[in-house]
Each structure stands twice: as structure tokens, then as C-alpha cells.
Amino acid sequence: MTPIKKLFPKRTAAKSSKPGGMGEKIPRHVAIIMDGNGRWAKSRNKPRTEGHKIGAKRVSEITEAAMRSGVEFLTLFAFSSENWNRPKSEIDALMNLLVISIKTHGKKLVKDRVRFRAIGNVSALPKKCLNAIEKLEEKTKNFDGRNLVLALNYGARDELVRAVRKISNSAKIGEIDPNKIEWEDVARNLDTADIPDPDLLIRTSGEMRLSNYLLMQSAYAELYFTDVCWPDFTAEEFSKALKEYGRRERRYGLTGEQILER
């Protein structure tokens, strides 16, 4: 296996994209749907939770790979608002793993000066998870340039509903004119208010759907699907996704000719 350091030589000035920029080679923001832990475990006759455990270990490796390659934001889908419908034993295992991972992985984030944040309806998570999240957010809040965002109890529809409620309340008290609401006003009320839109969205495990992940923010994201399950998604696999991204032409509604003229 190629070592991360070789795959992603350290960059001093990241050649990442400007928001809305075109023709960039390194995505500024990569979002990942970390899927396939259960099937990975099942195919090895192991319990699903074993897949989650190995999957959690991949998070450090991919975070390091992303940051080294010049990606400024990495947003990982770790638990969806729909995942509460899973068996209680699996949910409990996932929540325990979350606390352990934040504690162990957190030290490395602080050392590497990576800002950590969570998006989603985080306040509804078990108290021990919320505490661990808030602690690490606080410890890393002054770092910028490198960002790890975990989507926890996240669902795009839930996020939109929460945003609509906030905007409606502002309109009710006369802070905003309903007829003057623009996309920017909506975006400002989403969980990702100060996070740029994803440039590249990766889903592992062969599923080709978005499962309620960053639906608004991914309007112009390049999509990358791989059959590899998340526990096997190494830095090498991540580099394949970045290479594929580099081959894409982002057009934002323009023609190919217009893009060439820019």
C-alpha cells in the first residue's frame, strides 16, 4: 500500500478552488457518505458493529489524506436522522464509538490544527456525545484553513425545515420581508451557514443515492461513486476520487465553449 505521505505530499499553498470557481483541480470541500460498514462486516461473518469500528479508524486516515492534499473542508456523514430507526443495540454501539472516536481522534485534530464541527440536529444526540462534540469544537474553534465536519443526526429535509422555521419567525417579527427572501437568506440559516458548498461528493459501497445528505449544498457538486465499502476506503482510494474530480469539467449551466473562454 502506498503511504499517505507519498500519495499526498505536503502542500504549503493549497491550490484549492475559490467558492464558485471553475477549472480548479483540488476540491475545496469534499463531502463523503461513509457507507457499507454493515455489508463489509457481514461478508466477513462479523457483527455489523465490527464494520463500524474499522470504519471509524478510516476517518483519521482520510482526514489526514484530505488535509495533506489541500482540501479545506471534509464533511463526513456519520449518522443520519433516519438511522434512529435501526436496532437499538446498533444505535448504542454507534453512539459509544462516536464518543471514543472523538476523544482519540480529537487529539490528532488539535495537534494538526484542524477545526472540528458537527452539523445536524446535534442537540438531540445523547448527552455524552453532545459533551464530547462541544468540548472538541471549543478546543479547535480558533483553527482555520483545515476543517473536519461530522454530520450527526443529520438529514437535509430536517435541516431545511429548521431553517424555514427560523426564517418564518424572523418574518413574523418583521426582521425580514417574506417577498425579499433570497437563496442567501436560506443558506445563512442552514447548518452549513459558514461552510462552502461541497465540490466533490463521494459515496462508498456501490449505492448510488444521496440518502438525504446535503441536498441543497450539493446542487453543483461532482458525484463520485465507488463499490469499495467504507472500511476498505483507504487514502489510495481517496486519491482516485480526487484524480477523477480533476478530470471533470464543471459548467454551472454554461456551455463547454464558455468555460474554455474563461
Q: How far is CA 37 from CA 14, 24, 51, 240, in A?
A: 32, 32, 4, 20
By CB under 6 A, residue 201 contacts ligand IPE: no
Stretch that binds ligand IPE, among 182-190, 205-213, 214-222, 240-248 (CB under 6 A): 205-213
Q: Is 49 in the site for ligand IPE (CB under 6 A)?
A: no
Rounded to whole angstroms, how far apart are CA atoms 110 and 114? 6
Contact partner, 147, from ligand IPE, Mg ion, none, Cβ < 5-8 Å per class: none
The 3-state DSSP composition of the chain as helix, strand, coil percent (nearest 5) reads 45, 15, 40
Cα separations in angstroms, 202 against 29, 59, 75, 98, 230: 11, 14, 10, 21, 11
Whichever of 37 and 147 has its CB closer to ligand IPE, that residue is 37
Is residue 96 annotated as part of the catalytic site, yes or no? no
User: Which residue from 16, 17, 37, 217 is in contact with ligand IPE, where contact means CB under 6 A?
Assistant: 37
- 118 scored as a contact of ligand IPE (CB under 6 A): no
Count of residues in contact with Mg ion, rule CB under 5 A: 1
Q: Which is nearer to ligand IPE, 94 or 133 (CB)?
A: 94
- Residue 209's binding partner out of Mg ion, ligand IPE, none, with CB under 5 to 8 Å set by partner kind: ligand IPE
Nearer to Mg ion, 35 or 158 (CB): 35
Q: Would residue 83 show up in a list of annotated catalytic residues for this protein? A: yes
- 35 lines the binding site for Mg ion (CB under 5 A): yes
Q: What's the CA gap between 55 and 11, in Å, rounded?
A: 27
- For 165, the grid coordinates are 422555521
Other CB atoms within 10 A of residue 164 CB: 12
C-alpha cell at 60: 483519521
Among 60, 83, 96, 239, binds ligand IPE (CB under 6 A): 83
**Which residues are catalytic, by number?**
35, 83
